[in-house]
Structures are given as C-alpha cells and as structure tokens.
Amino acid sequence: MQISKILILLFLVGIVVGGFFLTQKMIEDMQSYRENGGSGALSGNAEYGDMLVDSSIGDASMLNPILAGDSASSDINGLVFNGLVKYDKNIKLVGDLAAGWDISADGLVITFHLKKNIRWQDGIPFTASDVEFTYKKLIDPKTKSPYKSAYELVKKFEVVDDFTVRVAYSVPFAPALESWGMGILPKHLLQNEDINTSKFNSNPVGTGPFKFVSWSRGEKVVLKASETYWDGRPFIERYIYRIIPDQSSQLMELKAGGIDAMTLTADMYTTLSKDKAFKEKNNTYRYTELRYTYLGFNLKNPLFADKKVRQAIDLGINKKEIIDGVLLGYGVESTGPFLPKSWAYNKNIPWGKYNQEKARALLKEAGWADTDKDGILEKNGKKFEFMLMTNQGNKERELVVQIIQQHLKKLGIKVNIRVIAWSSFINEFVNKRKFDAVVMGWQLTPDPDIHDIFHSSKTGEMEYNFVSYKNSEVDKLLIEGRSTFDLEKRKKAYHKVHEIIADELPYVFIYVPDSLSAIDNRIKNVKVEAAGIKYNIEKWYVPKGAQKYRNELQK
C-alpha cells in the first residue's frame, strides 16, 4: 500500500502501512496459496469472506494518490494503490512494488529493482513505464499535486529496463527513499487524460489489495478484495467505507452492528473500555500516532499580521485545560511542528505558557484596547472579531473551538464559530483560503521533513501552506534539513525551525492526541504496533462461524 505523505485533518484511525506477524505454519500456507494461483483459504483460523464496514465523518474528495491531500481520500487510496516502498509495522522502510534498491555511495542515486509479475487490477502488467509516468505527472506544472517538491529535486529519471528505474538527485535529499512510497498510477489508463479532471479520480484502478467497486458520494465507498493481488488476496471479501458525519451516530451504528470500526472520542473510550456489554462485542485500542492538532491563522488577514497578536492568542489559550477536559488526559501539549518522540523535536521550547495577563499586555502593545468598554478590543475603529472554523462531526474539535472561544473572550476577542461539513470545509474554504482561522490536524511521516507545510513556495491553491506563512530563514533551514544525510546537521536545522515557528506562531500548537478506536471483535489479527493498527488490514479476517454478511456477499 502507498505511503500517504501528509494527511489533512485526521479523524479516522489513520492510514498506516506495513508488515504482518505470521507463524511459520501460516507462512508456509501463504507460500502454498501464492504458488497455487491465490485460490482457497489458509489453514487454521485465518479464513476468507465477510465484510468490514469502516466509518468516517467525512467523504473522500479525490481517489488519486498524487492529487489527494485529505485523510478520507488517502484512506481509500492506501488500499487501492501501492508505492515502491512502504513502512512496516516497526516503521521501517521496506519494499512494496520494489523488490529492493541500491543507493550510491554519495546518496544521490537510487536504483529500484521492481517486482515482476505484478498486474494492475484490470490485468495489464505493471512495469517501469508506470513509475516513470507517475513521476512525470508529479512534476508536470499542470498537475495540481501538493507533493511536487519531493520530485522536483530529481535531476534525472531513467528507465533502465522494464523492471528497473534509476533516480538521480541534483543535491542530497534525505527523505528521497520515503518519497517513493507515493502511490503509482497506471500509464495505460491515464496517458491520454487530463489527470486533474479524469473520471479515473472517481473510479480508480491500482495494484493494491482492494479493488474499487463504487462510490456513492456522501454515503459510502465500496471496495472488494483483489483476487489476484500479488502479495496474497485479502481475507476480508469486501471493505465498506461509510460516511457518517457525527461520531455519536457512528457509536449508535457500532452498537447496533451497522458498522464495525470507528474512531472514539476520549469520553467514549473511557466509558466503553469499562462497559462489559460493549466489550463482549468490540475491542478498544489506544496507541500513538505522528499527529498534532492546531489552530491555524490566515496570515493574509490583517488581524493576525502582528506576531504579538498571535503570541497573545497562544498565551491566552489554556492547553492543559483542553487536554484534561476534552482528551481526558489522552494526549500531551504540542509546542511546535515536530512531535515529542521525534529526533527533530526541540526540548528547549517551554510547555504550559498559559498566561492571560501577559496576553493582555501583548495585545495592548499591539494597539488593541477596549475603548468603548463593551468587552471587545478594537483598533483604528475595527473590532477584534473573527470566524473560527472546523470540520463537522469531530466532537473533540467542536469542543476545542468552544473552549478557545471562551478563553479568548476573556482577552476581549470575539470568536464566532462555524462548523462545516468535511468536503465543503476543505474544498471551499481551506483550499481556497476563505477563512480567518481553523482548527485542524496534521499527520506526519516518520521523516520530519515539513517543507511542504511551512515553506513559502507552497502557498498555492491545493498546497499545504494554506496559512500563507513566509519566513526566509525558515525557508533556508527547511532546505538545509532535507538536503543532507548528516543527522546532526538535520537536527540542528530542525531545532532552529522549531524555535522560530514556536516564536512566530503561524499556528497555535495545541496538543498531540492519542489515537483511540473500537473494532468489532469478530475481526481478528488486529494488532497494535509502532505503526498503529491498520498497517496489516489486508490480513485481518473473520472466522467462518462469526461471518455475518454471507447473504449480502451473494447478491
């Protein structure tokens, strides 16, 4: 499955990829299964059949891995497409479509040796020309991809033969190998298409474990097991991705058996983990992911142009209260664009800076005062009032914006709240920069390259620096951080980036949450690893006696 580079506004378990723990007997059975053309079931408890009904509060927007920037789309793309590499359960890069690779001594050239006998889901052979085609589309100025920067550093892309490609870089690029986890596209289906508008984007064909069946927008996406998947047919026969724009409604569906999996809020997790009746039917999971939640400012809005104002807002928000009250302690404070477990994290950035008195002083220095004594600050005749947006259905974020509203009211700032359906929120407001401020979240890959989020060149429509942050020193440091293989040099650059961004605050960094979820316990082989739980979803299964969708699958 493909590596999703960065996912916007995660509200699901998250897309993670990787390996699968097998007993020796199951390894032998799998080998036999592949040698016999992929037919029949494995011995033991791992059996084929049944459906997995997953849930999301937001619909996908684009089923094309080089175009999609939202988590809902990436969840589906990760099941339909493969990259050349992937992360295994231990967050180690291993081969996916690539059987292996060689890296030159200077790190500037990677030669990928592709696996043979892989076919697209329509039966056409996968070859090096598909990789070349995907690369060319990524660097095409006409392609509306947020991932371009990683591929624009390639000096030369060479097809050596049908199953070998060579990639040469003009400068060292530390995340180079990881970048080739991007989902590869089928040349034979897209070479004569406008990739931005092609019908392929709502009817995809990949090399992955699941095949696209249908998409009822706003309702569900249906996938089925690929019988000819090169790494072994998934055990689950059909994967349904239901769109239910409210977590409370999802929970009702889970309890009623209408869905099999969902992300839990902290209060749901706390309550359900102790509910014997619920636990008889479902398992709950808690694990750490590489993600954080933030309040992002539209820096083109004059209200937020002054750094002192952004610093005052940061000081005026009690993050500990949010973590304790909303997350019930299932998370830690965020201090900047890197996560506490990352080597790029700067430990010298202080936590717990909540100080409303200092916040008021900064606002006064910036020229804001309540001159008419109505409780709202003003400057040059303009009230300090703005709209804070977030996506519908995410209970935690809806509570966060309400708490922020209360905290900033004490400073004399009037915050209006608008909660918008996911698709409209991303496509009509975030992508088009039609917002004052937003509460959102980022998930990062294990390599801490954040060039596409904060570099000033990435402020175009559909790109990830949608807050329009610009700092020449940060630009330089981000290039330095990705342009060396020396870990200490990268660490020095990223620590400085952390320091500058924590001072300038294009975002108020709020918290790093734990991931909490529930899955029907008839689904087996769900395991928490460093990569989370969905790294091996194609190996999840339901024992024959527990399968409940036999009639639906026969229709």
The torsion angle over the Cα atoms of residues 391, 392, 398 and 402, rounded to 10 degrees, is 80
Q: Looking at the DSSP assignment, which residues form a beta bridge with residue 333?
A: 511
- Sort 361 into a burial class: Cβ within 10 Å, 0-12 / 13-18 / 19+: middle
According to the model, what pLDDT value does residue 16 have?
Answer: 26
**How would residue 268 be classed by pLDDT, with cut points 50, 70 and 90?**
very high
The separation between CA 135 and the C-alpha centre of its own chain, rounded to angstroms, equals 21
Residue 396, SS3 per DSSP: helix
Question: Which residue from 457, 502, 460, 510 is spatially nearest to 479, judged by alpha carbons?
Answer: 457
What domains are defined for the chain?
Answer: 7-260+522-554 (3.40.190.10), 291-514 (3.10.105.10)
Mean of the per-residue pLDDT values of the chain: 91
Mean pLDDT on 118-125: 98
Mean pLDDT on 282-302: 95
pLDDT in tens, 490-512: 999 999 999 999 999 999 999 99
According to the model, what pLDDT value does residue 462 have?
Answer: 85
**How would residue 423 be classed by pLDDT, with cut points 50, 70 and 90?**
confident
* pLDDT surpasses 70 at 33: no
pLDDT in tens, 400-413: 999 999 999 999 99
Mean pLDDT on 296-317: 98
Pairing of β 437-443 and β 507-520: unpaired
User: Would you give the DSSP letter of residue 350?
Assistant: P
- Sort 212 into a burial class: Cβ within 10 Å, 0-12 / 13-18 / 19+: buried
**How would residue 5 be classed by pLDDT, with cut points 50, 70 and 90?**
very low
pLDDT in tens, 215-264: 999 999 999 999 999 999 999 999 999 999 999 999 999 999 999 999 99
Residue 319, SS3 per DSSP: helix
The separation between CA 96 and the C-alpha centre of its own chain, rounded to angstroms, equals 19
Question: Which residue from 388, 397, 470, 402 is spatially nearest to 437, judged by alpha carbons?
Answer: 388
* pLDDT surpasses 50 at 440: yes
User: Would you give the DSSP letter of residue 428?
Assistant: I
Mean pLDDT on 363-372: 96
% pLDDT > 70, the chain: 92
- What span, in angstroms and rounded, lies between the C-alpha atoms of 56 and 75? 10
* pLDDT surpasses 90 at 76: yes
* pLDDT surpasses 70 at 9: no
Where residue 107 falls (left for φ over 0; alpha for ψ -120 to 50; beta otherwise) is: left
Mean pLDDT on 302-309: 98
* pLDDT surpasses 90 at 172: yes
* pLDDT surpasses 50 at 433: yes
- What span, in angstroms and rounded, lies between the C-alpha atoms of 401 and 405? 6
Question: 157: which 2 tokens?
Answer: 């892309």
* pLDDT surpasses 80 at 467: yes
According to the model, what pLDDT value does residue 27 have?
Answer: 33
**How would residue 443 be classed by pLDDT, with cut points 50, 70 and 90?**
confident
According to the model, what pLDDT value does residue 7 have?
Answer: 37
- How would you label 460-480 residue by residue, b for 16+ Cβ within 10 Å and e otherwise? eebbbbbbebebeebbebbbb
% pLDDT > 90, the chain: 86
Q: Where are the beta strands (DSSP E) in 321-368?
A: 331-333
* pLDDT surpasses 90 at 1: no
- Which residues make Cβ contacts (< 8 Å) with residue 166, sequence separation at least 6? 109, 110, 111, 112, 156, 157, 158, 160
Question: 293: which 2 tokens?
Answer: 């939640």
**How would residue 40 be classed by pLDDT, with cut points 50, 70 and 90?**
very low
**How would residue 8 be classed by pLDDT, with cut points 50, 70 and 90?**
very low
pLDDT in tens, 451-463: 999 999 999 888 9
Mean pLDDT on 120-144: 97
The helices-and-strands tally (H runs, E runs) of the chain is 18, 21
- What span, in angstroms and rounded, lies between the C-alpha atoms of 543 and 523? 8
* pLDDT surpasses 90 at 553: no
Give the CA distances from residue 281 to residues 49, 268, 278, 515, in Å, rounded to whole numbers and listed in that order. Answer: 19, 15, 6, 20
According to the model, what pLDDT value does residue 31 have?
Answer: 38
- What span, in angstroms and rounded, lies between the C-alpha atoms of 138 and 175? 16
pLDDT in tens, 374-397: 999 999 999 999 999 999 988 999
pLDDT in tens, 189-219: 999 999 999 999 999 999 999 999 999 999 9
- Sort 121 into a burial class: Cβ within 10 Å, 0-12 / 13-18 / 19+: buried
Mean pLDDT on 139-155: 95
**DSSP calls for 473-518:** HHHHHHHHHHS---HHHHHHHHHHHHHHHHHH-SEEEEEEEEEEEE
**How would residue 38 be classed by pLDDT, with cut points 50, 70 and 90?**
very low
Q: Looking at the DSSP assignment, which residues form a beta bridge with residue 243?
A: 56
For 238, phi and psi rounded to 5 degrees?
-140, 140
- 25-29, 427-431, 540-544: least confidently modelled range: 25-29
* pLDDT surpasses 90 at 13: no
Where residue 475 falls (left for φ over 0; alpha for ψ -120 to 50; beta otherwise) is: alpha
**How would residue 3 be classed by pLDDT, with cut points 50, 70 and 90?**
low
According to the model, what pLDDT value does residue 554 have?
Answer: 72
- What span, in angstroms and rounded, lies between the C-alpha atoms of 249 and 269? 15
pLDDT in tens, 307-316: 999 999 999 9
Contact by Cβ (8 Å): 20, 208: no
